[in-house]
A and B are shown apart, each in its own frame.
Chain A
Amino acid sequence: MAKKDGSLNRRGFLKGAAAGAAASAASLVTDTPQAAAQGGASTAAAVPAPTQEQVARDAAAVRPPVSVRAVQRPGSDLMVQVLKDMELEYVAGNPGSSFEGLQESFINYGNPPNKMPEFITALHEESAVTMAHGYGKAEGKPMIALLHGTIGVQHAAMSIYQAYYDRTPVLMIAGRDEGFIQAHTAHDMAAMVRSFTKWDAQPKTLEQSLAALQRAYNEAITPPMGPTLVVLDTELQKEEARELKIPAYRPPQIAGIDLTKAREIAKGLLDAQNPRIEVRRLRTAQGARLSVELAELVGASAGTGATTGPMSFPQRHPLCGPGSSTAYDYTLGLEIPAAQASIIGPGLATLLERDSANIGFGGIAPAAGGRGARGGAGATSATAIQADAEASLPLLIEEVKRQLTPDKRRIVEERKAKHAEANQKARIEALTQAVQTKRNGWDSSPVATARIYAELWPWIKNEDWCLASPSGFSGAHNVQLWDHNKPYSYLGGQGAGGMGYGAPASVGAALAAKSRNRIVINIQCDGDLNYAPGVLWTAVHHKLPLLTIMHNNRAWHQELMFVEYMCGVRGRGTDRGHIGTSLRDPFIDYAKMAAGYGMTSEGPISDPAKLAGAFKRGLDSAKRGEPYLIDVITQPR
């Protein structure tokens, strides 16, 4: 950063001073091997030795001198106030100079400072966005992820793609600094992720910035929900706001069905002898509650998506199940196609006016059928109504109440009793059958995956729990063995099947859980954890109620089986199928990895008899806000 005349510009000076201070600070703690090594690093020799005063300040022995603030009311204070007004709980980021003004406001502005939102230290932008992804699925609303210029946005790209695919609200803010490092800025910062970002803006003024943050929030939570991005210039963060007023926040108006449709559907449900309500993923917990209210009012049996994702009908509610008869004569689908009527919010296919050059595949672009049918985009029911199901429920409930006669009320009560009995019987039968297969390999060493789920259940069944990690690779045994009764009981798959999701999504869910007296379970695939394991440190640093149990089969096991199969198809032998698919030579010690990040841990455990004790210790610790990791060596599948 030295200029030609040999003088240093501001940033160069700061960088040099920082390096010198870091080296000096390290020398103060030379009892740690890392610090000793850094203290002797040759890079530190290039900068002048710090003064005693600098060393003292760096060690926090003295306070910095009081000086006149450059601005009285920095623009970033107003930005943070806008975010406070929208009640955003958390902002996750790893630091970047392009948002240094904003970060300073996050940590210092407000009373109390660093609350609503609280700054969560991430170690990778991909982790920050996936934390927000997990939080968004657990709470049905966004938290913020901070991204540093072009490099931060690209680090985050995979996570943004996944949240987009998963229709999850995330509010992202990218800093932009034109005057610093050219490689870190761009004329149109959001362009590189626009294909899979629902809405973005790069405002030119502070006033526009405040409005853009409000709109980004509203766009994120309006169906189809998704990640949104506001690019904020560093100069706007630092400018003097003077008397600029903060615009009042107005929540979005989300379109539900109209009164005519509500009357028609209410009549259909009440006139039916055996009505059915199929519920999939609604937007928020309120939607799940309203779906229960509707089913109870009309005495309908209900289908649920609670074992595949969040915000659905409680699995063990007496009305949830096949009901006393599966000959349904009126079926209402909520975010799912149904025979008679379905209310389905707009899909991401409606966003195709945006740059969609790279997303014409999978579940994003196609509007009809097959893999495009993501609970909304691919509705094929002839009677599908494009409106948000959750927003439609209040009017529908009101209309049902209006049409309910005493006679119908009596019939509903009789029907509910029959459904409750039949559903309980069906549950017992399903479970009785399921346990016959779950015992497979019960005493095996390494541990059978079903035993992990079975052993864990008694410890969590009376807790308020959330399984935040995808369970498919570890056998999805929760689907049959556990009761998913809360809108956040199980948060479902990765979204786009991308690895590196389980741990950061669980940390995000644990952020949601922290103030709600909830615990989060992460059954963590080993291959998945190695993408960005630094998120374990974030969990410890922020004292999150998180229990991580490794499904450690020492491979990207699905890929091992794919490659092995391909070896067989080509007749070349399977004995090299492990190359590039296995995590061996050496095995990775996850308990040590966690310990390195400051997380209490134990394992590896390969004896199933040792699980129960470990789970108890882990849960006790997690409930104290001390996250815990248990490395379990498992059967491959």
Chain B
Amino acid sequence: MSELRRTDHPGAPAIKLSRHPSSASSARRGILIVAVTAVLAIPAYAQRGNSQAPTSPVTGNAANGKAFYYSYSCYACHGYNGETGRAFVGNWSSNLATEENFIRFLRGRANVAPLAPSTSMPNFAENTLSDKQAKDIYAYIRTFKNAQPDVKNIPLLNQMVEDAARPSK
């Protein structure tokens, strides 16, 4: 679909970021273009982290963190509850295991290696987001609960699977 060509939206399996291969003039101007290629269709379940939320100490202020979660547009890719888009609730990466891991992760994003597909998340340099602010954000996302029910408790989805066993209109 055309609208997905430049998409690095959460939920896309993996994104290759490169200079546009066929546009020399764009390259000369130094314009980075998010290329279209979903490099490898890695199924979501293959990327799953820990289903249990971390239990490491939290020192930040969750109320402040909520404001930063919005103002720094974390919600844009991870949803308002961490459950949609590039979801992390119920799929806790080791990058979220501790405050220290989280901060290290934020500092090593896209500006460090902008051509690597693993860095499609923006970089958060210390001069734009302090350690204290990062800890506040961490405190906020640690308040997120895994609220999504099991499929067996969602009749609508079960019905769809049942319907697949019957001829379709």
Contacts and interface: CB of A to CB of B under 8 A. Distances in A.
Interface of A: 308, 315-316, 318, 371, 424, 427-428, 431-433, 435-446, 448-449, 454-455, 457-458, 461-462, 470-473, 475-476, 481, 483, 485, 492-497, 555, 557-558, 560-562, 564-575, 577-578, 635-637
Interface centre among A462, A555, A566 (most CB of B within 10 A): A566
Nearest to A464: B169
Interface string B142-169: 0000011111001011011101110111
Contact of A427 (B81, B121, B157, B164): B164
Nearest to B81: A444
B76 interface: yes
Contacts of B122: 564-569, 574
B97 interface: no
Given A431-B164, A635-B85, A637-B11, A568 B1 contact: no
Contacts of B8: 561-562, 565
Nearest to A577: B73
A438 B157 contact: yes
A46 B75 CA distance: 56
A571 B5 CA distance: 25
B73 A493 contact: no
Nearest to A479: B1
Contact of B165 (A315, A424, A562, A637): A424
By secondary structure, the B interface counts as loop
Interface centre among A495, A567, A637 (most CB of B within 10 A): A637
Contacts of A448: 79, 83-84
A440 B83 contact: yes
Interface in B104-149: 109-111, 114, 120-125, 127-129, 147-149
A174 B129 CA distance: 56
B2 interface: yes
B7 interface: yes
A493 B3 contact: yes
B3 A635 contact: no
A565 B148 contact: no
A574 B1 contact: no
What is the interface residue range for chain B against chain A?
35 or more
Given A431-B164, A435-B160, A575 B120 contact: no
Contacts of B72: 573-575
Given A496-B2, A571-B127, A574-B124, A560 B148 contact: no
Given A441-B83, A446-B80, A569 B114 contact: yes
A493 B2 CA distance: 6
Contacts of B34: 562, 565
30 contacts: A316-B168, A318-B167, A428-B164, A431-B160, A433-B45, A435-B161, A439-B154, A440-B83, A440-B87, A441-B148, A442-B147, A444-B83, A444-B148, A470-B3, A473-B3, A483-B168, A493-B2, A561-B9, A561-B77, A564-B73, A565-B8, A569-B114, A571-B127, A575-B128, A577-B76, A578-B73, A635-B80, A635-B83, A637-B9, A637-B86
Given A454-B160, A560-B76, A568-B124, A497 B109 contact: no
A496 B1 CA distance: 10
Given A461-B163, A570-B111, A571-B128, A497 B3 contact: yes
Given A428-B165, A575-B71, A493 B1 contact: yes
A556 to B, nearest CB: 11
B157 A439 contact: yes
Nearest to A483: B168
B81 to A, nearest CB: 5
A317 to B, nearest CB: 8
B41 interface: no
B123 A439 contact: no
Contacts of B77: 561, 564, 636-637
B44 interface: yes
Contact of B1 (A476, A564, A575): A476
A172 B44 CA distance: 46
Contacts of A572: 128
A561 B121 CA distance: 9
7 tightest A-B CB contacts, nearest first: A568-B122, A573-B128, A316-B168, A441-B83, A637-B85, A441-B84, A568-B123
A431 B161 contact: yes
B6 A562 contact: yes
B169 A483 contact: yes
Contacts of A567: 122
B4 interface: yes
B169 A454 contact: no
B168 to A, nearest CB: 3
Contacts of A436: 45, 151
A633 to B, nearest CB: 10
